[in-house]
Amino acid sequence: MNRIIRALGALTLAALPLISTVARADDEDAVAYRKHIMRTLDEQTAALGMILSGAIPEDNLVLHMDAIATTASMALSSFEPNVPGGDAKPEVWSNWEDFAKRMNDFAAKTANMAKVAHDEDPQTAVELAIEALDCKGCHKVYNNKRADDE
């Protein structure tokens, strides 16, 4: 019995550094994490664009749409820590309601695009892509650096 308790104690102690590392996800981590998510969107959108331009066969078309929809669904929570910095304007947090609405709309439209690709046909989904992938609409308002491009 004592040995079990001691073993449990040792386990708990061993787990502590892990737990505090997770809890200490500091400001730098919060910024790096949301940038990773944004870059994933960028890469997947670029890959999809190559297919739509005819440079690459369309074998992975639907998978790229899935990847974009999945990543879009992660994006809002990556901005939840109130950590101004990176290229994000402070308005992300001072206008959180509007920012969250835009991100939720983006997630809903990309999810719909992917669903149409599966349930109807990829060509119809492609027609939805331009409106669904309105990255610029948000960057114009909330990103210091990318306001003029994508």
Give residues in contact with ligand HEC (CB under 6 A).
31, 34-35, 38-39, 41-42, 45, 86-88, 92, 99, 102-103, 106, 133, 135, 138-139, 142-143, 146, 150
Best CA proximity match to 142, nearest among 81, 77, 86: 86
CA separation, residue 9 to residues 4, 37, 56, 88, 120 (Å): 8, 38, 56, 43, 56
Best CA proximity match to 103, nearest among 129, 130, 78: 78
- Pick 92 or 114: Cβ nearer ligand HEC: 92
Minimum gap (Å) between residue 34 Cβ and ligand HEC: 5
Minimum gap (Å) between residue 117 Cβ and ligand HEC: 16
Minimum gap (Å) between residue 22 Cβ and ligand HEC: 21
* Site of tokens 């491009």: 149
- Pick 34 or 64: Cβ nearer ligand HEC: 34
- Pick 56 or 141: Cβ nearer ligand HEC: 141
- Pick 40 or 56: Cβ nearer ligand HEC: 40
CA 101, 130, 115, 72 dihedral sign is negative
Residue closest to ligand HEC (Cβ): 86
- Pick 58 or 105: Cβ nearer ligand HEC: 105
Minimum gap (Å) between residue 122 Cβ and ligand HEC: 18
> Which segments of 24-95 does DSSP mark as H helices, in order?
27-52, 61-78, 91-94
Best CA proximity match to 71, nearest among 111, 127, 100: 111
